[in-house]
């Protein structure tokens, strides 16, 4: 790894506070700095339609621009509101394949004032790459993002 999670979190926090970064920029940094983060993107809740809608992302183009609540790893997190770590995507029945290179996935919920508004989805080309440190780092990052509505309000449904 080129940098530690705490250095990375501090750097992103500073850029968020100084309005120097948007969600696509956050995806880019994560993808560049963490070798096992190969597809990085955001999905946002549309409660009326009961689907997730894709937001900014970095990585291979995906067919999954809309995901019904309950479908796939992302759709399950839309229902549970809990971080979901999948060490081996092929061992999952309820999984939506994005790329054949993907072996593992982590999905972290994004809450704003206790309301589930979206999620950060990260795919890895490595099997079983995510540790407790990844979970803590990504949950802290989502918490930082949640406190800066300018970053995401434009992606929320009317
Ligand atoms: N694998 C996800 C779908 C989204 S893509 O990975 C970008 C899922 O099962 O929900």
Which CATH number characterizes residue 62's domain?
Answer: 3.30.450.40
pTM: 0.96
**What are the beta bridge partners of residue 86?**
105
Supply 158's token pair: 């009317």
For the chain, the average pLDDT equals 96
Judge if the beta carbon of residue 129 lies within 6 A of ligand 1: no
pLDDT given at position 1:
56
CA distance 105 to 124: 6
Judge if the beta carbon of residue 98 lies within 6 A of ligand 1: yes
Look at strands 115-124 and 51-58 and give their pairing: unpaired
Tell me the CA–centroid distance for residue 18 and ligand 1, in Å. 31
Percentage above 90 pLDDT, the chain: 96
- Please report the atom of ligand 1 found closest to the CA of residue 62: 7
Q: How many domains does the chain have?
A: 1
* Residue 26 confidence class, pLDDT cut points 50, 70, 90: very high
Judge if the beta carbon of residue 109 lies within 6 A of ligand 1: no
Q: Which residue's CA is the closest to the ligand 1 atom numbered 7?
A: 98
* Residue 96 confidence class, pLDDT cut points 50, 70, 90: very high
Statement: residue 136 has pLDDT above 60: yes
Quick one: angle between helices 132-146 and 23-33, nearest 10? 160
Supply 27's token pair: 């995806």
Please name the helix (run of DSSP H) or strand (run of DSSP E) that holds residue 29, with its range, or none: helix 23-33
Judge if the beta carbon of residue 72 lies within 6 A of ligand 1: yes
Total residues belonging to the chain: 158
Judge if the beta carbon of residue 92 lies within 6 A of ligand 1: no
pLDDT given at position 2:
54
Which residue range is the domain that position 12 belongs to?
5-155
Please name the helix (run of DSSP H) or strand (run of DSSP E) that holds residue 132, with its range, or none: helix 132-146
Mutate to test the pocket of ligand 1, among 31, 74, 119 (most ligand atoms within 8 A of CB): 74
């Amino acid at each position: 790894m080129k940098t530690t999670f705490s250095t990375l979190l501090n750097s992103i926090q500073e850029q968020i506070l100084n309005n120097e970064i948007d969600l696509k920029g956050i995806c880019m940094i994560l993808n560049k700095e963490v070798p096992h983060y190969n597809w990085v993107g955001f999905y946002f809740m549309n409660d009326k339609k009961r689907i997730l809608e894709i937001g900014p992302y970095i990585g291979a183009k995906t067919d999954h621009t809309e995901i019904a609540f309950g479908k796939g790893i992302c759709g399950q997190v839309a229902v549970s509101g809990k971080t979901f770590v999948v060490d081996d995507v092929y061992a999952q029945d309820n999984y939506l394949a994005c790329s054949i290179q993907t072996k593992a996935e982590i999905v972290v919920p994004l809450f704003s004032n206790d309301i589930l508004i979206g999620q950060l989805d990260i795919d890895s080309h490595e099997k079983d790459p995510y540790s407790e440190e990844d979970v803590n780092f990504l949950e802290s990052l989502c918490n930082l993002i949640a406190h800066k509505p300018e970053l995401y309000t434009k992606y929320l449904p009317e």
